[in-house]
Amino acid sequence: MANQISPRAAEKPPAEAVDGRDSYAVTAFSDIVDRSLHAAAARFTMGLSPAALTAAYLDWATHLAFSPGKQFQLIDKASRKAVRFASYIGRCASGDSKSPACIEPLPQDRRFAAAEWQKPPYNFMYQAFLFNQQWWHNATTGIRGVTKQHEDMVEFAARQMLDMASPSNFPLTNPEILRHTLSKGGMNLVTGMRNLVEDWERAISGKKPVGTENFVVGRDVAATPGKVIFRNRLIELIQYAPTTDKVQPEPVLIVPAWIMKYYILDLSRQNSLVRYLTGQGFTVFMISWKNPAPEDRDLGLDDYRSLGVMAALGAVHAIVPDRKVHAVGYCLGGTLLSIAAAAMARDSDDRLQSITLLAAQTDFHEAGELMLFINESQLAFLEDMMWEQGFLDSKQMAGAFQMLNSSDLVWSRMVRDYLMDERAPMTDLMAWNTDATRMPYRMHSEYLRRLFLNNDLAEGRYVVGDKPIALSDIRAPMFAVGTAHDHVAPWRSTYKINILTDADVTYLLTSGGHNAGIVSEPGHQGHSFQVLTKKADGRYIDPETYLTEAPRQDGSWWPEWVAWLKSRSGPLADPPQMGAPSADYAARGDAPGLYVLQD
């Protein structure tokens, strides 16, 4: 009896269990505290991690402090620049009005292009600024030992601060503003202040910018006739009405990016890609993504594949049976389409006739300046921000994109709108750009980690259905479009599709940027493109060789692509019915549907 344990004693948990339970509570509490603090800080840092920026700065500063040779080089550069600048001032002061500038702006820098900048004292101001800009570029790059990403982050931060301090941003140091103010009797500043107050009032009240009211969704944009023939918790599928007596037998399914509303591909009548395709005899289907709310926080990237691409493909196959599909993906939608196509190829699903990728990346190793914001510190900070609210808000994304080209998208616009009173008229593309969507917490975290940070898709580690997929399994012919001035999906990054697949790849490089290069309707002046095809058994051509060998053609790339689609389509046939009521794909309303109207 002495060795028996009393019932009361037996009920007591071991000390280790008590410690574990206490430890779990403390861990959960500390996790909530840290995440809440980070989420609160993100509201004041535009979603940028202070820890990530500090780490980059310390990496740069420490290595610079232990690089006396680099320091001496920077002192030497500063001295020589000072001598050149003093010599330039002396020549100008002696009356040499044709003295060449010491330093020229970069080709894309148009801030100092006006003739007034070439006269004293404004030429001295902008030349000093450019010297300073060049010196800081030298100071933040080329330091042995600094990681490439930290170097890029520090150089980027220095560029942001310099752009903020540019003499073009201030009335007293910008001769164009002074001339304009004198000619207007100062009324430009009065009107500019009125513009500033109006924009501020609209921003804090959640209203869209001035002029967007002229581009109503369903009336002015997204107005191509059609029907919503399918809806689930994530997408609406739109089938557009035919405009020709006969159509290509293979339908076109478009998968747009979910970061913005789908109708960038269905803008106004004259520049709608959807309307152009229907006019060329194609039956077109378009996915319209739902704007996620907090309750959608746990939707993952595979939900976007299954509830999005695969659900839409099933509906298209029911409406146009026994026909393969020309699948088209734009930006993130193209990445998702690539994932779906690779999984289909692995599983012997051959419903795709062709695959078109518009400014879409499949290898994220060189994903442009967006990689500045992609590391473990930044993603953890971003995840904490999304954890609190359940999604990534469109305003939190817009700031990062604007910072990539702040001299044009921020400061030059502020000068025009608030100092010069030259507010640019709103266009359909600009109005669309203000109509952003949110992204669910889980999906965006998976997208950034698995694709941007780890590059799982390109390196064969991306898993669909418990098994990895490989882009090299895709055999359907591919048409990939890159844009020459793309900050979001650099064309050399999208060009890597040539080495990731074993299919025939036609790669087309068009002029313009990520959006304006894709919205390139026939008749638009100043557009051009280059195109080459690499057969599945052909030899790889590197990007620089491609630039020299691919013939340049003037005009829109749309006709080139349509000819490519038609060459891979069968004989013309009667248009299919709108929807398939017998298969539960009856019309649920007119295009553009309900999801695109969600704020």
Cβ burial of 138 (10 Å; 0-12, 13-18, 19+) is middle
Residue 537 and residue 573 in contact, taking contact as beta carbons nearer than 8 Å: no
Provide CB contacts within 8 A for 134, sequence distance 6+.
81, 103
Bridge partners, residue 254, by sequence: 286, 328
User: Nearest CA to 421 among 215, 123, 192?
Assistant: 192
Confidence of residue 326 (pLDDT cuts 50, 70, 90): very high
Residue 22: HSE in the Cβ half-sphere, 13 Å Cα cutoff: 7
Whether 25 and 87 map to the same domain: the answer is no
Express the helix, strand and coil content of the chain in percent, nearest 5 each: 50, 10, 35
What pLDDT score was predicted for residue 23? 67
What pLDDT score was predicted for residue 48? 74
Beta strands per DSSP E along 331-442: 352-358, 391-392, 439-440
User: Nearest CA to 518 among 566, 482, 543?
Assistant: 482
Whether 152 and 289 map to the same domain: the answer is no
Whether 68 and 40 map to the same domain: the answer is no
Let me know if residue 579 belongs to a domain: yes
Residue keyed to tokens 């008590």? 18
Confidence of residue 97 (pLDDT cuts 50, 70, 90): low
User: Nearest CA to 343 among 460, 252, 442?
Assistant: 460
Q: Rounded to an integer, what distance in angstroms lies between the CA atom of residue 346 and that of residue 469?
A: 7
Let me know if residue 396 belongs to a domain: no
User: Nearest CA to 296 among 46, 591, 598, 30?
Assistant: 598
Whether 248 and 286 map to the same domain: the answer is yes
Residue 482 and residue 497 in contact, taking contact as beta carbons nearer than 8 Å: no
Average pLDDT over residues 57-70: 96
Percent of the chain with pLDDT over 90: 69
Whether 38 and 153 map to the same domain: the answer is no
Q: Are strands 252-255 and 325-330 parallel, antiparallel or unpaired?
A: parallel
Whether 249 and 306 map to the same domain: the answer is yes
Residue 288 and residue 262 in contact, taking contact as beta carbons nearer than 8 Å: yes
User: Nearest CA to 500 among 373, 357, 368?
Assistant: 357
Whether the per-residue pLDDT at 2 is higher than 50: the answer is: no
CATH of residue 235:
3.40.50.1820
Q: How confident is the model over 137-157, as pLDDT tens digits? A: 999 999 999 999 899 989 988
Whether the per-residue pLDDT at 81 is higher than 70: the answer is: yes
Let me know if residue 474 belongs to a domain: yes
Residue keyed to tokens 């003739």? 115
What pLDDT score was predicted for residue 1? 42
Let me know if residue 382 belongs to a domain: no
Beta strands per DSSP E along 204-274: 226-231, 235-240, 252-255
Lowest mean pLDDT among 28-42, 306-320, 551-565: 28-42
Whether the per-residue pLDDT at 515 is higher than 70: the answer is: yes
Residue 450: HSE in the Cβ half-sphere, 13 Å Cα cutoff: 19
Residue 331 and residue 359 in contact, taking contact as beta carbons nearer than 8 Å: yes
Sheet of strand 478-483: strand arrangement: 226-231, 235-240, 284-289, 252-255, 325-330, 352-358, 478-483, 505-510, 528-534, 552-554
Whether 94 and 27 map to the same domain: the answer is no
Q: Rounded to an integer, what distance in angstroms lies between the CA atom of residue 436 and that of residue 256?
A: 13
The conformation of residue 370, written as its DSSP 8-state character, comes to G
Whether 360 and 506 map to the same domain: the answer is yes
Q: Which helix (H) or strand (E) holds 585?
A: none
Q: How confident is the model over 297-320, as pLDDT tens digits? A: 999 999 999 999 999 999 999 999
What pLDDT score was predicted for residue 366? 84
Whether the per-residue pLDDT at 98 is higher than 80: the answer is: no
What pLDDT score was predicted for residue 10? 46
What pLDDT score was predicted for residue 437? 86
Residue 497 and residue 478 in contact, taking contact as beta carbons nearer than 8 Å: yes
What pLDDT score was predicted for residue 411? 80
Let me know if residue 144 belongs to a domain: yes
Average pLDDT over residues 4-21: 48
Q: How far apart are the first and last CA of the chain?
A: 73
Provide CB contacts within 8 A for 182, sequence distance 6+.
none
Q: Which of 138, 165, 192 is at the close of a domain?
A: 165
Q: How confident is the model over 49-61, as pLDDT tens digits? A: 788 889 999 999 9
Whether the per-residue pLDDT at 395 is higher than 70: the answer is: no
Amino acid at site 540: Y
Active site residues: 331
Whether the per-residue pLDDT at 429 is higher than 50: the answer is: yes
What pLDDT score was predicted for residue 138? 96
Whether the per-residue pLDDT at 587 is higher than 80: the answer is: yes
H-type helices in 216-282, by residue range? 273-279
Let me know if residue 342 belongs to a domain: yes
Let me know if residue 472 belongs to a domain: yes
Whether the per-residue pLDDT at 127 is higher than 80: the answer is: yes
Whether 512 and 579 map to the same domain: the answer is yes
Confidence of residue 135 (pLDDT cuts 50, 70, 90): very high
The conformation of residue 221, written as its DSSP 8-state character, comes to B
Whether 40 and 68 map to the same domain: the answer is no
Q: Are strands 391-392 and 439-440 parallel, antiparallel or unpaired?
A: antiparallel
Q: Rounded to an integer, what distance in angstroms lies between the CA atom of residue 546 and that of residue 550?
A: 6
Domain of residue 20: give its range: 7-45
The pLDDT mean for the chain works out to 89
Whether 485 and 351 map to the same domain: the answer is yes
Let me know if residue 568 belongs to a domain: yes
Overall number of domains in the chain: 3
Query: Other CB atoms closer than 10 Å to residue 5's CB: what's the count?
Result: 9
Cα 411 to its chain centre, rounded Å, is: 20
What pLDDT score was predicted for residue 49? 79
Answer left, alpha or beta for residue 492, where phi above 0 means left and psi between -120 and 50 means alpha.
alpha
CA 40 to each of CA 233, 543, 556: distance values in angstroms, whole numbers, following the listed order: 30, 44, 46
Q: Which of 165, 180, 212 is at the close of a domain?
A: 165
Q: Rounded to an integer, what distance in angstroms lies between the CA atom of residue 324 and that of residue 339?
A: 18
Whether 481 and 591 map to the same domain: the answer is yes
